[in-house]
Structure 1
């Protein structure tokens, strides 16, 4: 019954023709359900632990933008976990990701970082569900960013490096750089180990830094020649100028 309601509201929004609203679902469902949902979805937020590359590719071909969902990382975990999200998004062609959570425990996290105290004492989740510290606790006018949030930013910047390389005609080089660092840990189609588990990716941050720059090196790629009004083929007119420039070269 609940799934039929998802289909109903999805069709209702699609048939309304409203452009400013997007219909999405969170979580994984059986393959046949996902394919039915693809008829009304624009975004599917899928649990990374259950990511099925074959189903993802099928719904992508049907116009769905696949995102993945995971946690924000723990203070005690390897810091590369947060940086890795940008690389994982590139590797698996995810449109973006969502996290739980930004500031669930951030008001008292200055004094007690454990979000969910474990009465048995066999598991501690320091920093779970929070990436910022509320400023008012320490008399600050603004929140304080965690190192994990800054690592998340670094991973997003890495993604932009790969995007720039792809725009310059070096998509294969970008893919190769990412694959050298992050292995295909979703290929098993099974419940994955916690992010950052040994062997999931290279654990030397310097190797990540070298890899992200590698696709940007090399000869520039010249885009196809095109004519501009009043200019010879392959030349363009500078904004506000009366001359024609030499052909532009796409490079970074």
Structure 2
């Protein structure tokens, strides 16, 4: 180091040594909707002064009965962090009737609505996900792919483990060693700590519509440090409990049972299905009933999830989708041979499945997941098994066949439901498939065709898929995993248990394709393998990505309601304002055409809300 640099360093050390020791200070508090990710050290965010829910002074929200409004409060702190930071929100009160949303705030998801509070947990990404599976090229990469990215949402009752009150450490430090062992410490001046609020508006329409008011308080060391007024317009229209499009997510039985050791298997299944259902997701495929041969007892026990009786207040469920069953059921998962390997076995077993569904759950979209991601070498196997099904003299001939591949001309007469990771690339064939009772869904995420699933993706990557599904008439989005807490066996990390709260890399194979956050949309409330990550809660924890899946599903329902009023063509025109091109309309090397800012979707959402008033 030269003499001048050494002299400047010594001056800096002297300045730091003379600085008074101050208590933590809040630099700024602001709010933003669910459509942005505010990185920990991005303290000059473009939405800070004004956005779709924040005018610089007040939080302004609008929504329907039975809608969940997710939004964020961002607290910017000085370099000292905070030892005891939390927020609170008073139950909203109707300015005319005096009705109170959420009652005393202690009953989650009741008919009167509720308020749920979370702290945002950050993951440090230094090695960004590569293109290929997740995005087509650098042209379609997310805008910011490195830094401390918020995702896991820690409930307020995870006391001392990321819940309230929250300890925020000092800002990051850079240490430089000099020849004479002197140190210069540079500190990032400020940092963000994000909080997430879910405001569930009443499903009980006896609560008055109109304007409700509330207040958010930021607390430091038990003292009120900042207050934000909140105004909510409850519009006199009801968001359907039913989903008119599906998000199908797989989860692993092993990850669930191995993590929640204090619970019985049935309790774990119910807990996870409840959390998914509240986010308008069908959690299907990871349970014994999907990976085993047909069992009448097992299907009768599973039936409440299909007819909706599992999702009722009498069974302990409250929230969106009350009384509504799952729409999908997979016979077998990822190609395991639940129907056997001979013609006689395939035909006799398929008869059992079809008979049960036709007699017990005729509205469920059930199918045989014959094989996963097949190549041409597997085509003879597919054709042989399909022929066994379709030539079945019994009811089993009506069993639809599904696989995870985009449309293939050679398989058009044997596969009923295609599912490609780049979506529908032949729209004319898609329409022909639909006309003859088949279908084509899309799989995981791949920019610029539709939103990606990786941690670095924009928040709206998970929201836009609801709009894309509506625009193109796509029935289902399949996400390969939601609780990939154990590393995949196809890669160098084998079956190691992941440190999902500290390491962003969650998928890697021997070809060294890897994805940060891939397969982890839920986080475990218990962590038996890495005790320092245990949150002490026998529940699955949500993420910002899961919240945006819900927002996209709710948007789809708003679009469906608007279509009843103004017709499909006009709704498509609205969608095209934010999604000018997607799916087959773009090439893998194109930039993303759909808007990547939450405010743009909120503007169209507000137009729809005005239609529904």
**What TM-score do the two structures reach when normalised by structure 1?**
0.71
1:135 aligns with 2:525: yes
- Call closer, same or farther: CA 1:133–1:163 in 2, change over 3 Å: same
Q: Among residues 117, 125, 128, which one is paired with 2:515 in the alignment?
A: 125
Rounded to whole Å, the distance in 1 between the matches of 2:462 and 2:566 is: 28
Whole-angstrom distance in 1 between the partners of 2:423 and 2:479: 13
CA deviations on 1:8-67 (whole Å, 9 max, x unpaired) are 144156x53259954323212432422x136xx2x3323335632111111111111332
| CA deviations over 1:95-122 (Å, ceiling 9, x no partner) | 111012101137630122211369999x
How many residue pairs match? The answer is 210
Written as runs of structure 1 = structure 2, the 5 A alignment for 1:1-252 is 1-12=380-391, 16-17=394-395, 22-34=400-412, 36-37=413-414, 41=416, 43-49=417-423, 51-71=425-445, 73-105=453-485, 108-116=499-507, 125-137=515-527, 138=534, 139-188=536-585, 190=587, 192=588, 198-215=591-608, 217-218=610-611
Measure the CA separation in 2 of the matches of 1:19 and 1:141: 43
Name the one with the larger helix percent: 1
Q: Distance in 1 between the 2:456 and 2:568 partners?
A: 35
SS of 1:115 mapped into structure 2 = strand
| Contact 2:421/2:444 (8 A) holds in 1 | yes
2:542, 2:597 → 1: CA distance? 23
Is contact 1:101–1:129 with CA below 8 Å preserved after alignment? Answer: yes
Relative to structure 1, the CA distance from residue 161 to residue 47 in structure 2 (aligned partners, 3 Å threshold; closer, same or farther) is: same
- What's the offset of the Cα at 1:132? 0.7
Secondary structure of the residue aligned to 1:182 is coil
- Structure with a larger share of its residues in strand: 2
SS at match of 2:516: coil
Deviation sequence 1:149-172 (CA, Å, 0-9, x none):
111110000001111112234322
Quote the Cα distance in structure 2 between the aligned partners of 1:166 and 1:145: 31
* Aligned counterparts of 2:420 and 2:509: Cα–Cα separation in 1: 28
Q: Any idea what SS the aligned residue of 2:576 has?
A: helix
CA shift, 1:74, in A, is: 1.5
Partner of 2:493: none
**Does the Cα contact within 8 Å between 1:83 and 1:152 map onto a contact in 2?**
yes
Q: Of the two, which has the highest radius of gyration?
A: 2
> Residue 149 of structure 1: SS of its match in structure 2?
helix
Provide Cα deviations, 1:200-235, integer angstroms capped at 9, x if missing partner. 2112211101113424544xxxxxxxxxxxxxxxxx
SS in 2 for 1:2: helix
Partner of 1:97: helix, strand, or coil?
Answer: strand
SS at match of 1:54: helix
